[in-house]
Structure 1
């Protein structure tokens, strides 16, 4: 269960998110007190982590809460009981959000099911395709949902109840059960306990000790001259619980006979800080892993890919006439297998008997690499071991040397270079001018290289096929990064001032950046005029939105011809 300290850390984190919001997309009016600032920052924080959105402008475009919109636009619209809407095209999921941010910590306070009931006003309107009484952003987003639901594709609808309260609403609550049955949707409650797992703190390294049968361990050494060994081990799942728990004394107590003491052990999330998959509230992977543990624990070793662990140092010592080996693992992180680790701890938490009945009889393959603080080796291990599983190119590259160098370099220019969800800067107490995701920066570089028409829909290729062409040391000068980012945000803010005349769209920013490479002497205003004139003059056989026009090669060529 989360603590008062978790509550306080979240408050600080939410203020940082509000600060990033103001720097990226200034509000029409500013909240007068920190509680309101925290509340708005909480929306950004939650949506970033639950929707895997990394740009504040994209996140804001999902928010429908009437109070947030009043701060943002100066206008107040009826939000119909829904605070945010996100259409996840990749997962075919419609995500609806109801937020509650409490001012004070209450150990026994539980989410109210009434928050879910309030949301039925919107759900009824959605199911009845009734948008006549809606206006503003919620109307536009709802119309998008209606179009999606009318497709042949099957969509999952989930209502997320998100708060900083200590206890979440119970799934057995009559109001929640009725909501699920009547509307055929999922209800996912997220409280302080879940939220505290993703608060991006630079953790202190953790250590642990384990005793293994010699036959359960294989030693690997790079060369005969190497002083650092790495290991491949077969480790009981019950020991995985112990090695990664929050209790330091348990992590070093390898002679536990009564396993029941581990039934209350909690996962120390700092071991997952560099795990590229980040936070997952609920997924099919978790469910499958848990079912394997319950139904066939003896074969879990064969069904699961296991864990990849990197430690600053691993010391081994043979004991018991070389029948046993004691490993002392210092400063370790789980780089691959975060889903497995979370699932093992979740299964342990489900029942006090699971540690004895199932986890003690199942085993996990664990690769333990000694890095000797060689960060580049750690990055490569993370990238190559994760590439064997379903994971995006963007996430894989988040631990590459080039991206880490960019993060560190831009820190000196007060720019947050966000490599993964939850990043609020290397220095928690520092104020930053900008926050830009690794993903967005890649799109900007792609546009500058001559492909503004592809920048919005080639994200995976940017961090796959085109990666070396954009980020390779032979072509990319890291010293140009601050200037490029400043130029991008200047374009974004300038377009915002013209919002009564032109519609600000991300793709337009890419075209303006590109025009700057072929017409360097023009002002932002002149480049915008060229682009907007091209959008008006470009003829198509059927009516197309500006966004659809700008991804066409023919339109890109049309702009080039008109510009020069």
Structure 2
């Protein structure tokens, strides 16, 4: 259950995201702390729920009246929906209604009425009279036309969800027929997200998490690559009650080797610090989670056979046979679960669902647990995380988040006052530091792709950046010492576009990086004015518009030839 501590952590997180937002739109906010938190809250929760760490995409999807008034000085009616996120690749539409409270009330839950505010927008989308769309500014009008095509004349099956998001303590408690009618009327799913859920995906860098356990000798198998290897690993058949204990947020439970009363053991919940290095983010209400819970309840003794198991890494693992050789004492130092996070979450949720579940099911259910002590010198931790997750669809950028070169970038940028967010929700390793900039790993990859000679394709395939192009961009052709300057140039470009009163976009910012890589020795203002002039006079522009022109190989080749002629 969310508490005042979670509320304060979220406020701190929201303040950092407000700074991130300010950097990415080139605007210094002269607003109250409460308003800053509100703006940051929008960006943080959208990033998490949409699983998109590109801030420019997130900003573009927000149509909230107050948000756009504060950012762009434009005030217009949002008709009850605050953000519209469309993912064409996954055929998903996510609609959002936000509520941000400036104080915490542990007994306060969301109001059912907040969902019905959004019906005005949905009715507008489903209207036969599209002329009404033209009364709205471009940012809303474009989304109305897009949603109209998706909902009225769909060519494919789309998943449409309406999220009610707030920082209140509890999610909406009314599960009445009214909500079901709303979902049925518009053929959408309605979901509530409040602080109780948000606290689960706040990425806080954890303190070291240790645990001790005793297992029967016949349930443990040791493994090492050769007889001289210093790193020992273990594969074990472990009761789910032990998973509950060694990942508990109650340290006393994790460290205890004595039997713990089931009522006391049930009091703890998952310490999310053990999932910090898990490449898979929070998946709320997943069908796989439901299947795991169903197996626990209906066939607990077969759980071991039906579940893929859990993989954890530890900084150190000590194993000692106990007298009689019937049992093994295992001590784990600095645990991170790198695969099986959904299983661990579901075990804890299943326990919380009913106080009798521990006694009736979790003591009987067992799960396969692989415990590895990676050799830090050869980047084994990253390889274990990547390879044990690669069977399932996880974003390529997440699979690379633990790579040694990414960690090195993070450490080096931090020395220059820049936070490098390897994972969504991360805003720096130390909350007390006021970072000059925060840049996501995905955005940094796009910068490198532009500098690699593909500014026109920088935004088109993030997957390619972190798969087939990864070695070229981040390893072979990468100069770590240049990283701080590239980040500074990126944010200075955004800011300068705003100061010059010019309309910027991501492709324009990446073209500036491309010019810099080519060695064009002009001031930033001169680079911007040159790009704008060339874009305005290019023959493709009248037909395609700015973004499509910048994204065409013809334009990229033409501007390269023009620059080459000017500089020769």
Do the two structures share a fold, i.e. TM-score over 0.5? yes
Whether contact under 8 Å (1:311, 1:332) holds in the other structure is yes
Which SS does the other structure have where 2:457 is aligned?
coil
Measured against aligned partners, the alpha-carbon deviations of 1:344-371 in whole angstroms (never above 9, x if no partner) come to 2222222333323333332211111124
Offset, 1:218: 0.7
Match of 1:48 in 2: 47
Distance change (3 Å), C-alpha of 1:127 and 1:45: same
Which SS does the other structure have where 2:504 is aligned?
coil
Whether contact under 8 Å (1:311, 1:372) holds in the other structure is no
Offset, 1:135: 2.5
2 CA distance for matches of 1:297 and 1:454? Answer: 50
2 CA distance for matches of 1:38 and 1:488? Answer: 24
Whether contact under 8 Å (2:217, 2:328) holds in the other structure is yes
Offset, 1:548: 2.6
Match of 2:402 in 1: 399
2 CA distance for matches of 1:340 and 1:244? Answer: 12
Measured against aligned partners, the alpha-carbon deviations of 1:2-29 in whole angstroms (never above 9, x if no partner) come to 1211111212221222222223324475
Measured against aligned partners, the alpha-carbon deviations of 1:382-402 in whole angstroms (never above 9, x if no partner) come to 223223332222111110011
Distance change (3 Å), C-alpha of 1:264 and 1:374: farther
Match of 1:522 in 2: 522
Match of 2:290 in 1: 287
2 CA distance for matches of 1:62 and 1:390? Answer: 25
Match of 2:137 in 1: 135
2 CA distance for matches of 1:132 and 1:541? Answer: 23
Offset, 1:431: 1.3
- Corresponding position: 1:545 with 2:548: no
- Corresponding position: 1:77 with 2:80: no
- Within a 5 Å distance, the mapping from 1:480-519 to structure 2 comes to 480-498=482-500, 503-518=503-518
Whether contact under 8 Å (1:28, 1:74) holds in the other structure is no
| Structure 2 residue corresponding to 1:411, chosen from 411, 414, 431 | 414
Which SS does the other structure have where 1:197 is aligned?
helix
| Structure 1 residue corresponding to 2:477, chosen from 470, 475, 478 | 475
Measured against aligned partners, the alpha-carbon deviations of 1:233-282 in whole angstroms (never above 9, x if no partner) come to 11122221122111223224455475454444311111111111122333
Which SS does the other structure have where 1:194 is aligned?
helix
Which SS does the other structure have where 2:363 is aligned?
helix
Match of 1:317 in 2: 320
Give structure 1 stretches of 5+ with no counterpart.
none
Which SS does the other structure have where 2:203 is aligned?
coil
Whether contact under 8 Å (2:82, 2:98) holds in the other structure is yes
Which SS does the other structure have where 1:20 is aligned?
helix
Distance change (3 Å), C-alpha of 1:529 and 1:395: same
Offset, 1:227: 4.4
Whether contact under 8 Å (1:64, 1:79) holds in the other structure is yes
Whether contact under 8 Å (1:39, 1:101) holds in the other structure is yes
- Corresponding position: 1:177 with 2:176: no
2 CA distance for matches of 1:87 and 1:108? Answer: 34
Match of 1:229 in 2: 232
- Corresponding position: 1:89 with 2:91: no
Match of 1:13 in 2: 13
Distance change (3 Å), C-alpha of 1:353 and 1:545: farther
Whether contact under 8 Å (2:56, 2:506) holds in the other structure is no
Which SS does the other structure have where 1:157 is aligned?
strand
Offset, 1:74: 1.4
Whether contact under 8 Å (1:93, 1:155) holds in the other structure is yes
- Corresponding position: 1:353 with 2:356: yes
Measured against aligned partners, the alpha-carbon deviations of 1:489-544 in whole angstroms (never above 9, x if no partner) come to 222222334555xx422122222322333361233344344444444454469943
Which SS does the other structure have where 1:131 is aligned?
helix
- Corresponding position: 1:423 with 2:465: no
Whether contact under 8 Å (1:439, 1:459) holds in the other structure is yes
Whether contact under 8 Å (1:313, 1:330) holds in the other structure is yes
Offset, 1:464: 1.0
Offset, 1:137: 2.2
Whether contact under 8 Å (1:29, 1:74) holds in the other structure is no
Match of 2:66 in 1: 67
- Corresponding position: 1:326 with 2:329: yes
Whether contact under 8 Å (2:204, 2:426) holds in the other structure is no
Whether contact under 8 Å (2:253, 2:260) holds in the other structure is no
Whether contact under 8 Å (1:210, 1:327) holds in the other structure is yes
483-492 or 297-306: bigger deviation: 297-306
| Structure 1 residue corresponding to 2:159, chosen from 137, 146, 156 | 156
Distance change (3 Å), C-alpha of 1:440 and 1:103: same
CA RMSD of aligned residues (A): 2.4
Whether contact under 8 Å (1:97, 1:162) holds in the other structure is yes
Which SS does the other structure have where 2:191 is aligned?
strand
1 CA distance for matches of 2:490 and 2:19? Answer: 19
1 CA distance for matches of 2:405 and 2:37? Answer: 33
Match of 1:433 in 2: 436
Offset, 1:307: 1.2
- Corresponding position: 1:265 with 2:264: no
1 CA distance for matches of 2:556 and 2:72? Answer: 32
Match of 2:251 in 1: 248
1 CA distance for matches of 2:266 and 2:108? Answer: 25
Which SS does the other structure have where 1:453 is aligned?
helix
Which SS does the other structure have where 1:81 is aligned?
coil
428-437 or 371-380: bigger deviation: 371-380
Whether contact under 8 Å (1:30, 1:71) holds in the other structure is no
Offset, 1:94: 0.9
2 CA distance for matches of 1:35 and 1:526? Answer: 38
Distance change (3 Å), C-alpha of 1:151 and 1:407: same
Offset, 1:295: 4.1
Measured against aligned partners, the alpha-carbon deviations of 1:38-84 in whole angstroms (never above 9, x if no partner) come to 11111111112111222333322221111111111112111111121
Whether contact under 8 Å (1:83, 1:97) holds in the other structure is yes
2 CA distance for matches of 1:214 and 1:382? Answer: 27
Whether contact under 8 Å (2:535, 2:541) holds in the other structure is no
Distance change (3 Å), C-alpha of 1:481 and 1:176: same
* Count of matched residue positions in the alignment of Structure 1 and Structure 2: 560
